[in-house]
Structure 1
Amino acid sequence: MPASIDPFARPDRRTILKSLAIGAAGVAGIPLLAACTGGTGPGGGPAASSGLTFGSSASDEVPKNAYKAVTDAFEKKTGKKVATNVVPHNDFQNKINSYLQGSPDDTFTWFAGYRMQFYAGKGLLAPIDDVWEKIGGNYSDALKKASTGPDGKMYFVPNYNYPWGFFYRKSLWAEKGYEVPATFDALKTLSAKMKSDGLIPIGFADKDGWPAMGTFDYINMRLNGYQFHVDLCAHKESWDQKKVSDVFDTWKALLPFQDPGALGQTWQDAAKSLGSKKTGMYLLGSFVTQQFTDPAVLADIDFFPFPEIAVEGRDAVEAPIDGLLLSKKGGQNQAARDFMAFMGTAEAQNAYASVDASNIPTAKGADLSKFTPLNKKTADVIANAKHISQFFDRDALPAMANNVMIPALQSFIKDGTIDVKNLEAQAKALYAAQ
């Protein structure tokens, strides 16, 4: 998701990752970000001298208010002011390259994985090893690794992560007598039963291009293992081999059960169908629960991991990590570093989670006592996973994800065909150009 990407209303990758590819070529000229709500605009305003500026792509109401709870807590604790510049998800990410090369905010929301390392490698971020000296004990080794740049320095402060899996309404399943499938064959059998019951078995939405990557990642990991996923994303494995063809051949068995209107709808559209009991289950990140504003509906949502296909990949989970980065300009501002350090504490992540409970805090000591049964289940899935993937477009070369995979997957969804030799030819050209 990452699908991905939002932290919750996942963005449109068709242009997001194209801008990353532009950045690799050193081309600028995309208009700088403009403020959407609050703050003083990127990099400007009074907070620069008395505090800091914070650029946020969390423009949906719930995450926006959650980050406000964090900045309010920081201001109360330190007396330092935070001028927040909230920008729509797509705008923020589509224009991130020119944003970082222009007048960026001191610190800003972003993602772990390749999409952090890319900009660190371009020298557009400030390292925060000093911050990690303060907060390092709050994080696992896996989270520390995900926060490390290509030069071995620290750049990222994790705030939360969230697993991808199948979400469903418990009352509908109880009414129909459905049971959670433990294997892929059981998933197909359940899907067939749902279809005969007049439901859309598997909610699916790929108008924005990125959601299908989650299905690809899971089938790939369940068939070939986590390491193959990582190596394929890095092009250490070729695309024109049987292991990749097997992924699409396996996926074909699900195509008759996925929402036939997928290419014309957003993930929010598909969430509505799940909420209204027109869809039996929906493979997405746990951010999907933000769409269920009726407490009764939210309490009726449950979750299960992607079923086992082969023994190789049953211990992996797709759980992207979101958090904060420090811009190169922001590296000169101690208040911004202090804010980053605050974000890496249980206190700050509790403030965030008090408003947005759809994700899992990453800092040790965060208060989990108010977790719903669904929160606890998703947290356990992450905690018990041996391997955690970020999401294809966070683990792979941006141009590969955007320019190759999005159209290839959308074409596959449309007619069930894929040309793995063509995928490999394009991958060779793109990765060789780096």
Structure 2
Amino acid sequence: MSRPRSQAEYLARLVPPSVAGLNRRTLLAGTAGAGALLGTGLLAGCGSDSGSGADAKAVSLGSNQSDPKPKDVIAKVMDGFKTSSGVTVNINTVDHNTFQENINNYLQGKPDDVFTWFAGYRMRFFAAKGLAGDVSDVWGKLSGYSDAFKKASTGDDGKQYFVPASYYPWAVFYRKSVWQQRGYQVPKTLDDLNALSAQMKKDGLTPIAFADKDGWPAMGTFDILNLRINGYQFHVDLMAGKEAWTSDKVQKVFDTWAGLLPVHQPDALGRTWQEAAQSLQQKKSGMYLLGLFVAQQFSGDDLADLDFFTFPEIDSTIGAKALDAPIDGYMMARKPKSKDAATKLLTYLGSKDAANITVKNDPSTLVANSEADTSAYTALQKKAAELVGSATEIAQFLDRDTRPDFASTVIIPALQQFIKNPKDISGLLTSIENQKKSIFTS
């Protein structure tokens, strides 16, 4: 996922509000020019000149899979498509964060025929804006997907705009060998977690690895605390702009988080998630709340030593069954240069053949197609699939469950401000609420 490093940097890199629905009062003066620059930058003009019609022998893919492992997996899947169809895929890979930050300009300009994206609100948002192609005909050819996956791929108009490929749960990861050596037990409650963290400190470990240089990881911490303290329905209503950020319920989330910050790795705003993962890999940290993709940073015996537990209960009346399990997949441009080739590619990407390639090559994700051969899943993947299967409610992740502009322009800098100085929670929440009202009513 490179996000802005600070609030100031983010504001300097804002995309134009015409599509995102941003209220111009929330922008710094002069940012319209910044949007124009982004439009000619890394994502603009990526679309291929593959031709059109049934005879097209090439199709372009805009990919945010920039880390080495997922980038390699994408390449192998596209090779599989070429072998089966004879159509070449021209992959345009852009840094994950840059891809997300520039998505508005990208989709307004000359996007690739097919592009990687996310299920949930962020998919529906661009579909509703007319910036994505209807792939309902593709769904007529797919099998192996539950109704839940189809629902997550459906826009507000009832049409499908998304083909799911993979998903992954967020959980608390740890090294089994470290815990066995120290005699640590999986915490069941917040009090247990605090006691375990205190013991880890005594043992010379950083209790919880933490990073937020890229802006998005802290959203996972907010999500799980809100789900545990206030429940799933309040969480999704808050994301939809239906609840007030100034409520006592949200205040309690931040109060609880402030109490946990001292057991988190310090100086998080200067650290990437990969660097925090290395702290866990090197046995310097005892735990790390992140998505299953943390496994990308482990291999061999280290990967076999990796385990996880779901974040513990905070309120016994709410429990610990809700979690974040985002769905990744593909969308089609509103006017692909070759709709036939794009449709063929999307149909293949939703097939069990494509899923089987992913299973064989990536231990850090779970495939969405139930017809795939998952016998090659690692123990970690099998446990992750069981965790998602046992969840009572599943959220998509903060920046996928709310408006993209709100997540990017308000929540990222707000959470980074909180991490830097957690003392003025009331003032911070008032600021978030005021900006929310402006954005959600624009």
TM-score (norm 2): 0.90
Q: CA deviation at 1:22?
A: 5.5
Residue 134 (structure 1) aligned with residue 141 (structure 2):
yes
Task: Select which of 190, 196, 221 maps to 2:196.
Answer: 190
1:290 is aligned to 296
Q: Would you say the 8 A contact 1:206–1:267 is kept in 2?
A: yes
Task: Give the letter for the 2:259 counterpart.
Answer: A
- C-alpha separation between the residues in 2 aligned to 1:402 and 1:51? 34
Map of 2:46 onto structure 1: 42
> 2:437 is matched by which residue type in structure 1?
K
In structure 1, what is the equivalent of residue 29 of structure 2?
Answer: none
Q: CA deviation at 1:424?
A: 1.7
CA displacement, residues 332-367 of structure 1 (integer Å, 9 cap, x when unaligned): 511111111111111111112222121000011111
Q: Output the CA distance in 2 between the equivalents of 1:51 and 1:140.
A: 31
**CA distance change for structure 1 residues 47 and 308 in 2, over 3 Å: closer, same or farther?**
farther
What's the counterpart of residue 232 of structure 1?
238
Q: Is the 8 A contact 1:33 1:87 kept in 2?
A: no
- Shift of the 179–363 alpha-carbon distance from structure 1 to 2, 3 Å rule, reads same
Where does residue 72 of structure 2 map in the other structure? 65
**Counterpart amino acid of 1:300?**
D
1:52 to 59, 62, 65: 59
SS of equivalent residue, structure 2 residue 100: helix
Q: Corresponding residue for 1:387?
A: 393
Distance 1:126 1:331, change over 3 A: farther
Partners of 1:105 and 1:133 lie apart in 2 by 23
Q: Is the 8 A contact 1:317 1:388 kept in 2?
A: yes
Matches within 5 A, 1:108-123: 108-123=115-130
Matched residue, 2:417:
411
Is contact 1:319-1:390 (8 Å) kept?
A: yes
Q: Percent identity?
A: 50
- Residue of structure 1 in register with 2:159 after alignment: 153
Q: Distance in 2 between matches of 1:12 and 1:300?
A: 33
Contact between 1:12 and 1:210, CA under 8 Å: does it hold in 2? no
Query: Aligned letter for 2:302?
Result: V
Following superposition, the deviation at residue 261 of structure 1 comes to: 1.9
Could you report, residue by residue, the CA deviation over 1:64-102 in whole angstroms, capped at 9, with x for unpaired residues? 111111111111111222222222223322222221111
* Preserved contact between residue 217 and residue 391 of structure 1 (Cα < 8 Å): yes
- 1:177 paired residue among 176, 183, 192: 183
Distance in 2, Cα, partners of 1:158 & 1:414: 36
SS in 2 for 1:109: strand
For residue 140 of structure 2, give the secondary structure of its aligned residue in structure 1. helix
Quote the Cα distance in structure 2 between the aligned partners of 1:235 and 1:34: 32
Q: Which residue of 2 aligns with 1:421?
A: 430
Q: Secondary structure at the match of 1:138?
A: coil
Identify the residue that residue 305 of structure 1 maps to in structure 2: 310
Aligned AA (2:348): F
CA contact (8 A) 2:57 2:86 kept: no
Is the Cα–Cα contact under 8 Å of residues 20 and 399 in structure 1 kept in the other structure?
A: no
Secondary structure of the 1:168 match is strand
Aligned to 2:357: 351
The match for 1:90 is 97
The answer to whether the 8 Å contact 2:134/2:332 transfers is yes
Other-structure match for 1:337: 343
Look up the SS of the partner of 2:89 in the other structure: strand
CA distance, structure 2, for counterparts of residue 248 and residue 341 of structure 1? 43
Q: Secondary structure in 2 aligned to 1:179?
A: coil
Does the 8 Å contact 2:165/2:329 carry over to 1? yes
Among 239, 249, 254, which residue is 1:243 paired with? 249
Question: Is 2:371 aligned against 1:362?
Answer: no
1:219, CA displacement in angstroms?
0.6
Deviation at 1:110, TM superposition (A): 0.7
- Cα offsets for 1:134-174 (capped at 9, x unmatched): 11x42112211111112221000010011111111111111
Match of 1:430 among 418, 425, 439: 439
The AA in structure 2 aligned to 1:367 is D
Change (3 A) 1:231 1:352: same
SS at match of 1:127: coil
**Alignment match, 2:20:** 24
Task: State the distance in 2 between where 1:151 and 1:35 align.
Answer: 28
> Which whole-Å CA distance do the structure 2 matches of 1:261 and 1:313 have between them?
31
Q: Secondary structure at the match of 2:163?
A: strand
SS at match of 2:173: strand
TM-score by length of 1: 0.91
- The alignment partner of 1:254 has SS state of helix
Equivalent positions of 1:252-271 (< 5 A) are 252-271=258-277
Measure the CA separation in 2 of the matches of 1:383 and 1:21. 39
- Give distance in 1, aligned partners of 2:225 and 2:181: 29
Distance 1:213 1:423 in 2: 14
